[in-house]
Copies of this chain bind each other. A is one copy, B any other.
Amino acid sequence: MHHPEAATRRSVAQSAAKILARLRVRRPRIHCITNSVAQNFTANALLAAGCVPSMTVSVEEVGSFVSGAQGLLVNLGTFDKERRQAMGIAVDTARSNALPWALDPVFVDRAPTRAAFARELIAQRPTVIRLNHAEFSTLAGSKPSPDAVADYARACQTVVGLSGESDLVSDGERTASIANGHSLMGRVTAMGCAGSALGVACLAIEPDAFVATAAALLILNIAGELAAEKSTGPGSFATSIIDALYNLDGPTLIERAKVS
């Protein structure tokens, strides 16, 4: 008897273990255009996982930085003029260089101008879109569910990574659900942004964007579980999850993974 689900589960966890090991050897450069609230935590999460982050938003130089990187994150938070211009140049550069790039459409549910700008970026076919329930509902026009996520991934010709109580990942054909994580992750600013950045890090290693995205969310969620065991609130949790990302190993990932 064939068990495709069990195969997916094993393969995501094993892929995550391999990707994590390779991240630490290859140390990919990840360029992040991300909001100023998230920059420090995102940079530290990437460094803990083995990457080399850069974050300039200067229109004169962002092209050079993206050309020299192995992946790009575009995050809409704190959405000022130069940052939007920089996003255009960065995305063009990523596309010309065939670099993977992820879009994190932060807070598109809060302002129509922001949702409109996100739609323009989505039309440029990001490798991955990583977002939460409110953001998904705004962009997809439907409530999040495994089918809705798969439909939206197909419609946008991308991989969708949806954060929630369980995370969902779909490329339109394959869908995975990740039940790992901890409620304190919702009490630390930039946790989702850091997840998107780790997604880009995994894309820099693993060409299958579905596998890379599922691996990144699995890595962050299991780091969150480990951090929660050593924390007494969201302050110590934010510190501990960086330590956990740094210390995480493949066997722990495989042992704790709840992927279906």
Chain A residues with CB under 8 Å of chain B are 35-41, 43-44, 47-48, 53-58, 60-61, 64-65, 68, 77-82, 107, 110-114, 187-190, 231-236, 238-247
Contacts and interface: CB of A to CB of B under 8 A. Distances in A.
Nearest to A81: B82
A56 B114 CA distance: 11
Copies of this chain in its oligomeric complex: 3
Interface centre among A48, A56, A242, by most B CB within 10 Å? A56
Contacts of A64: 110-114
Contacts of A81: 58, 82
B242 A61 contact: no
B233 A244 contact: yes
Contacts of A56: 35, 77-79, 107, 111
B48 A233 contact: yes
Given A110-B64, A187-B246, A233-B246, A79 B58 contact: yes
B57 A80 contact: yes
A43 B82 contact: no
A163 to B, nearest CB: 15
Task: Give 9 nearest A-B pairs by CB, closest first.
Answer: A233-B243, A235-B242, A64-B111, A61-B111, A43-B189, A233-B246, A235-B239, A58-B79, A235-B243
Nearest to A78: B56
Given A43-B190, A235-B238, 13 more contacts: A35-B56, A36-B55, A44-B238, A56-B79, A57-B78, A57-B80, A58-B80, A58-B81, A58-B113, A65-B107, A233-B245, A235-B241, A239-B239
A95 to B, nearest CB: 19
Contacts of A55: 35-37, 77-78
